[in-house]
Amino acid sequence: MGEYLFSGLKVIDCATVIAAPAAAMILADFGADVIKIEKPGNGDMLRMLSNITTTPYADSNWFWQLDGRNKRSISLDLKTEAGLGILFELIAECDVFITNQPYSARESMGLTYEALQPLNKKMIYASLTAYGEKGDERNRKSFDQLAYWARSGLMELMREAGTRPTQGLPGMGDHPTSLALYAGIVTALLKRSQTGEGSMVQTSLLANGLWSAAGIAQGVLAGGDMAQYRDLNRVESAMMRPYRTRDDRWLQFNMVRTEELLDLLLTALDALQLLTDPRFSTPELMFQNREVLGDKLQAIMETKTKDDWLAVFQSFDLPVNLVALVEETKDDAQILANNMAVKPKDVDVATPLVINHPISVSDVPQVGPKRAPDLAEHRDKILEELGYDGKDIADLSSQGAFGIESD
């Protein structure tokens, strides 16, 4: 084995935006040589996400550095015979080919698994779709906000009764989906090590959204009474609602789930008198009058700040947690201690901390964040590795293989 687990593994990232490219990034983090195929001109749309209004502006192109790190880049015009020919050469030598292109495009360019498998029988072909490989929606284009968040039912479930559904966060479904695709690739690599044969790996944004919603969706598939579920949850139980403190922060009580813990909580709140209130004298009555009980607890919570309450709850060893602000992430000692965000050693990475993927294996080192490539930065080197010289590259350029990047 080389310095890293996947040293020597050749990966072609022929995908766009987040989920599939992030799976390639994880492979690169463990040492794989990942070549990113980008369209000429602007390259992957991921390069632009740091500047959209739904993400926080910073001086660095942080979204590209997050998911584009540790890769090499070449831009190819796959609408030209020359550009597509280079891609086929790269595929013939790769271990893993990752794509999320619509099936109509794959079919027209000969990039389906069936078309490529004879070219490289040991290749792992990793396919990401929005809605799955089969069915009427097979060719639908989508992003995680649509397929993962809305189509799966998560968007409708994750709201308070009577309020409108809320939009998800950028990449919120993409990053979990990247882990599923990565897991499939690693599983297929293990199978290849045993049989010598490649495989097709597939997952979808919808499948991962449904998996995330499985704690409710499986109940539906089991014939559960959703009308009753919605009616019972129209008003949250007193322990399931968040509570606002005097300094306008929120605390979560939903791990207080036994009578013993509830007694301890009421003791910490100096509110044991609530247990003598006939409306709350039994667990059944507490649930029946849960809105009133919650309002009384809220009135108490408003008397102290979050720090005051957290100190009280800690003294009683109660499982109460603060609803964090994402702004606090950069100073979160727990996140830093566990390398959930790391300081890049590469001085060319402009952001001081980079979020790590959540996969950690003992004695399996990671490369660490290296600067995400400029568009087509490694074109000549990649082509030289395929056996092309300067004249060959110039000829390919004249044939339009690199689009406007040929200039």
**For residue range 63-93, what is the model confidence (pLDDT) as tens digits?**
999 999 999 999 999 999 999 999 999 999 9
Q: Which of 45-59, 115-129, 137-151 has the highest average model confidence (pLDDT)?
A: 115-129
- Structure confidence at residue 404 as a pLDDT band (50, 70, 90): low
CATH of the domain at 56: 3.40.50.10540
pTM of the predicted protein model: 0.95
* Domain carrying residue 188: 10-213+333-406
Q: Which residue has the tokens 């957290």?
A: 310
pLDDT at 406 over 60: no
How many distinct structural domains can be found in the chain? 2
Exposure string (b/e) for 207-237, b if CB count within 10 Å is 16 or more?
bbbbbbbeeebeeeeeeeeeeeeeeeeeebb
Relative to beta strand 96-99, strand 10-14 is: parallel
Residue from 174, 231, 263, 374 carrying the catalytic annotation = 174
- Structure confidence at residue 251 as a pLDDT band (50, 70, 90): very high
| Range in 76-80, 213-217, 347-351 the model is least confident about | 347-351
Of 128, 279, 282, 94, give the one whose Cα is nearest residue 198. 94
Q: Does residue 84 fall inside a structural domain? A: yes
pLDDT tens across 293-338, in order? 999 999 999 999 999 999 999 999 999 999 999 999 999 999 999 9
Last residue of a domain, one of 276, 297, 322: 322
- Structure confidence at residue 142 as a pLDDT band (50, 70, 90): confident
pLDDT at 1 over 80: no
Q: Does residue 5 fall inside a structural domain? A: no
314 plus 202 within the same structural domain? no
CATH of the domain at 265: 3.30.1540.10
338 plus 302 within the same structural domain? no
Report percent pLDDT > 70 for the chain. Answer: 99
Q: Does residue 218 fall inside a structural domain? A: no
Top-confidence residue, 139 or 223: 223
**Res 77: pLDDT:** 97
Q: What share of the chain is helix, strand, coil (3-state, %, to 5)?
A: 45, 10, 45
Of 83, 90, 137, give the one whose Cα is nearest residue 116. 90
Structure tokens at 113: 């698994």
**Res 140: pLDDT:** 87
Torsion angles phi and psi, residue 72, rounded to 5: -110, 150
- Average pLDDT value over all residues in the chain: 96
Total Cβ atoms within 10 A of residue 117: 15
pLDDT at 34 over 80: yes
Total Cβ atoms within 10 A of residue 42: 12
Q: Does residue 367 fall inside a structural domain? A: yes
121 plus 261 within the same structural domain? no
Beta bridge partners of 14: 99
**Residues 75, 376: contact at Cβ < 8 Å?**
yes
pLDDT tens across 358-375, in order? 999 999 999 999 999 999
Q: What is the mean pLDDT of residues 239-246?
A: 97
37 plus 156 within the same structural domain? yes
How would you write 206-275 as a 3-class SS string?
HHHHHHHCHHHHHHHHCCCCHHHHHHHCCCCCCCCCCEECCCCCEEECCCCCCHHHHHHHHHHCCCHHHH
72 plus 192 within the same structural domain? yes
State yes or no: is 174 an active-site residue. yes
281 plus 132 within the same structural domain? no
- Structure confidence at residue 407 as a pLDDT band (50, 70, 90): very low
**Res 2: pLDDT:** 77
Q: Does residue 29 fall inside a structural domain? A: yes
Q: Could you tell me which residues come within 8 angstroms of residue 210 by beta carbon, excluding any fewer than 6 positions away?
A: 152, 153, 217
Structure tokens at 336: 């830093």
Q: Does residue 226 fall inside a structural domain? A: no
CA 193 to centroid of chain Cα atoms: 28
Q: Does residue 33 fall inside a structural domain? A: yes
209 plus 153 within the same structural domain? yes
Q: Which amino acid is it at 86? A: I
347 plus 375 within the same structural domain? yes
101 plus 67 within the same structural domain? yes
318 plus 359 within the same structural domain? no
pLDDT tens across 260-297, in order? 999 999 999 999 999 999 999 999 999 999 999 999 99
110 plus 199 within the same structural domain? yes
Q: Which amino acid is it at 280? A: F
pLDDT at 405 over 70: no
Q: Does residue 4 fall inside a structural domain? A: no
pLDDT at 191 over 60: yes
Last residue of a domain, one of 262, 292, 322: 322
Instruction: Tell me which long-range contacts 167-170 makes (C-beta under 8 A, separation of at least 24).
Output: 168/144, 170/49, 170/52, 170/54, 170/55, 170/63
Q: What is the mean pLDDT of residues 44-53?
A: 94
256 plus 359 within the same structural domain? no
Last residue of a domain, one of 276, 301, 322: 322
pLDDT tens across 6-26, in order? 999 999 999 999 999 999 999
Q: How long is the chain?
A: 407
Beta bridge partners of 124: 96, 199
Structure tokens at 240: 């399931």
* Angle subtended at Cα 218 by Cα 212 and Cα 222, rounded to the nearest 5 degrees: 175
Q: What is the mean pLDDT of residues 111-116?
A: 98
